Amino acid sequence: MGRWVSTARCILRLFDADFVDVVGDGFLLRGHILNVVEKRVFVHEQIWLVRPCQTEDGPPLPRFDVRPFLKKLPIEDRADNEPSVSERWREAHPD
């Protein structure tokens, strides 16, 4: 969230969001963000951790410990030296 004059507004937008799971004091959403670079639109899949915040000026939220939830996360399973899905796609589509 951000501010426009005195109104709170959403700065980042997650499209086609799907609820993944409840983790700790928050929940996970998986969806897509759009990024425009030099008149090209790039679509990135992301997972967002959403947690409640009482006020914008309040103290920061405590650090989130992901370790208890690692087995629940939809993480791409690959070897360390294997390129990711996005890296393979970019190699196949250089233009």
| Beta-bridge partners for 41 | 36
Q: Is the pLDDT of residue 52 over 80?
A: yes
Residue 1 binned pLDDT confidence (cut-offs 50, 70, 90): low
Q: Read off φ and ψ for residue 28, nearest 5 degrees.
A: -110, 135
Compute the average pLDDT of residues 11-17: 83
Q: What pTM does this model have?
A: 0.58
31 located within any domain: yes
36 located within any domain: yes
| Beta-bridge partners for 18 | 30
1 located within any domain: no
Q: Is the pLDDT of residue 40 over 80?
A: yes
5 located within any domain: no
Q: Could you give the number of structural domains in the chain?
A: 1
Range of the domain at 44: 14-53+65-92
75 located within any domain: yes
Contact present, 94 and 87 (Cβ < 8 Å) = no
